[in-house]
Amino acid sequence: MSFLEYAPAPESTSVLKLKDAYGLFIDGEFVDGSGAPFDTIAPATGKKIATVSTADAADIDRAVAAARRAYDTTWSRLSGRDRGKYLFRIARLVQERARELAVAESLDNGKPIKETRDFDIPTVAAWFFYYAGWADKLDHAGLGPAPRALGVAAQVIPWNFPLMMLAWKIAPALAAGNTVVLKPAETTPLTSLVFAEILQQADLPAGVVNIVTGAGETGAALVAHPGVDKVAFTGSTAVGKRIAQTIAGQGKKLTLELGGKGANIVFDDAPIEQAVEGVVNGIFFNQGQVCCAGSRLLVQESIHDEFLDRLKQRMRTLRVGDPLDKNTDIGAINSAEQLQRITALTQAGIAEGAEAWSPECELPSEGFWFRPTILTNVATSNTVARDEIFGPVLSVLTFRTPAEAVAKANNSPYGLSAGIWSEKGSRTLALADKLKAGVIWSNTFNTFDPTSPFGGYKESGYGREGGRQGIGAYLQAADAPAPARAPGELGASGSAGAGSAAGAASSVAQRVAKAVTKPAASKSPAAKAAAAKPAKTSTRKAAK
């Protein structure tokens, strides 16, 4: 028996009070969705947890109408102080039900209870607590006096940090005075629905937050809905691009938090033990299913061999297995689809010449699992050095000079995160200036805080979440020009509570949903120019 073998220490699921089936949360009540219900499963076992409703276009109409009604009649009339007090209540209720939420999250997502208990859920509470205090201080948010809310925000979030992403979206939106329709990912809707119960306990006015479940088509219908003033999306770069194309000309403000291929740069003067720990945290935290993961290790050539030996030694101590076991370091991959993608990309890397190494570990026979893996002999042009794998797979590259490290780190269409490991502060700061990334961690990685803005450069998206900048994404200056809209587009304010035009709205939503689920249009500039030409004749003007 090695020192790694522990008796199982599973967290009890008795704290959960789950229902067999969940509806949509619209206008303060759970209602059945009109689409075909689906099961949410536990990725560690493949077993069903609960049945969840699918919102179709008509449900989206109802949710947006409820949000508009709540905005017009309640939320926009409430004082900042009172909005803040609701958010403080929510923060406290999350803390009170923290263990239940942690267990539900680990069950539904597959991530270790160690992470949901010590990171995800505490961060959720912290996010609400932080933005609660902003609600009555908006004059100091940096947009001048008396900034205005945008209206109804459509928010679509991913499956990697389900409740945390909800908090990152809902807390600043409500603090700024907006109302919300949020769609969680189809593989991880559970904690959003438990959160809806918390909103009922907090007595949040009906319609201020609406939660609609479903797959990509539900999300597409939501962001395209003409009753929406603001769209916030976290997810893949491909879907982010399609959303931006879909809502162009609709007068909706957009923030996108998309993919990444973060470089973790280790210099020969780095504190090596800390760096090894940071690299492990950078790529194996949450099974590497993190948009800002340090998925490219750039290690200085002179310490490459020693560093890799130590990294492998550390990886041999990682415990892979039951997410609900308190000893587990690495849990299950979120879905069969994601496991397939990780496997395919890793295979592509090996086919291109990379050498794969994983510690020996026994994987459970059911569910979705992938061994923590490092790929060496990787060239900058290889698939695994360019494409986001979104799994526990680290590509190792080397550099000789700081200039080469910067060039390699920036050699990516993404620009979300980067790490620097060195004891030389002056060089670290010079490097931080030159790295094209929204978040730079020096001698640390994957640290998050509600006061600290997070978001990307380049194709990692635009806008920031967290901090003072994060609330700016849900506000406009008092004297800001009205959003430009193509003629014929029903504006949110123009449609006066989209519910009144529910039929028309749903047909628009369906039309755009189809467009969004289609593959992206031809990439050739000629095709784009041709598309740009026909309407040259000034039929479209900015609405002022």
Partner 1 sequence: MTRLAVPKTYKLYLGGKFPRSESGRTFEVRTPAGEFLANAALASRKDARDAVVAARGAVSGWAGATAYNRGQVLYRVAEVLEGRHAQFVDEIVQQEGVSRAAATAQVDEAIDRWVWYAGWTDKFAQVAGNANPVAGPYFNISVPEPTGVVAIVAPQDSSLLGLVSAIAPALVTGNTVVVVASERFPLSSISLAEVLATSDLPGGVVNVLTGSPAEIAPWLASHQDVDALDLVGAGDLDWVALEQAAAESVTRVSWPEQGPDAAAPSLERIRQFTETKTVWHTKSLL
Write down the catalytic residue from 105, 115, 257, 489: 257
DSSP-derived letter for residue 55 is -
- For residue 354, the one-letter residue type is A
Q: Is 133 in the site for partner 1 (CB under 8 A)?
A: no
In terms of CB distance, is 8 or 144 closer to partner 1?
Answer: 144
Is 292 among the residues known to form the active site? no
Q: Is 438 in the site for partner 1 (CB under 8 A)?
A: yes
In terms of CB distance, is 291 or 502 closer to partner 1?
Answer: 291
Residue 427, classified by CB atoms within 10 Å of its CB into exposed (0-12), middle (13-18) or buried (19+), is: middle
Q: Which stretch binds partner 1 (CB under 8 A): 19-27, 157-165, 295-303, 472-480?
A: 472-480
Residues 506-535, mask of contacts with partner 1 (x by CB under 8 A): --------------x--x-x--xx-xxxxx
* Minimum CB–partner distance for residue 400 and partner 1 (Å): 21
* Minimum CB–partner distance for residue 433 and partner 1 (Å): 8
* Minimum CB–partner distance for residue 85 and partner 1 (Å): 22
Write down the catalytic residue from 291, 388, 459, 489: 291
Question: d(Cα 177, Cα 149) in Å, to the nearest integer?
Answer: 5
Q: Is 34 in the site for partner 1 (CB under 8 A)?
A: no
In terms of CB distance, is 103 or 431 closer to partner 1?
Answer: 431
Cβ atoms of 105 and 119 within 8 Å: the answer is no
Q: Where would I find the H helices in 40-189?
A: 57-73, 80-96, 98-109, 113-115, 121-134, 162-175
For 357, the 3-state DSSP assignment is: strand
Number of residues in contact with partner 1, rule: CB under 8 A?
68
* Residue from 304, 454, 495, 502 in contact with partner 1 (CB under 8 A): 454
Question: d(Cα 305, Cα 300) in Å, to the nearest integer?
Answer: 10
- For residue 59, the one-letter residue type is D
Q: Which stretch binds partner 1 (CB under 8 A): 59-67, 304-312, 323-331, 460-468?
A: 460-468
* Minimum CB–partner distance for residue 65 and partner 1 (Å): 26
* Minimum CB–partner distance for residue 78 and partner 1 (Å): 26
CA nearest to 542, candidates 251, 263, 314: 251
Pairing between β-strand 296-300 and β-strand 393-399 as defined by DSSP bridges: parallel
Question: d(Cα 232, Cα 113) in Å, to the nearest integer?
Answer: 28
Question: d(Cα 90, Cα 97) in Å, to the nearest integer?
Answer: 11
Q: Is 486 in the site for partner 1 (CB under 8 A)?
A: yes
The shares of helix, strand and coil residues in the chain, as percent rounded to the nearest 5, are: 40, 15, 40
Footprint (CB under 8 A) of partner 1, residues 279-318: none
Q: What is the DSSP string of 243-277?
A: HHHHHTTTT-EEEEE-----EEEE-TTS-HHHHHH
| Residues designated catalytic | 257, 291
Residue ranges that bind partner 1, judged by CB under 8 A: 126, 142-144, 237, 240-242, 244-245, 248-249, 256, 258, 413, 425, 428-429, 432, 437-444, 447, 449, 451-455, 457-462, 464, 467-469, 477, 479-481, 483-484, 486, 520, 523, 525, 528-529, 531-536, 538-542, 544
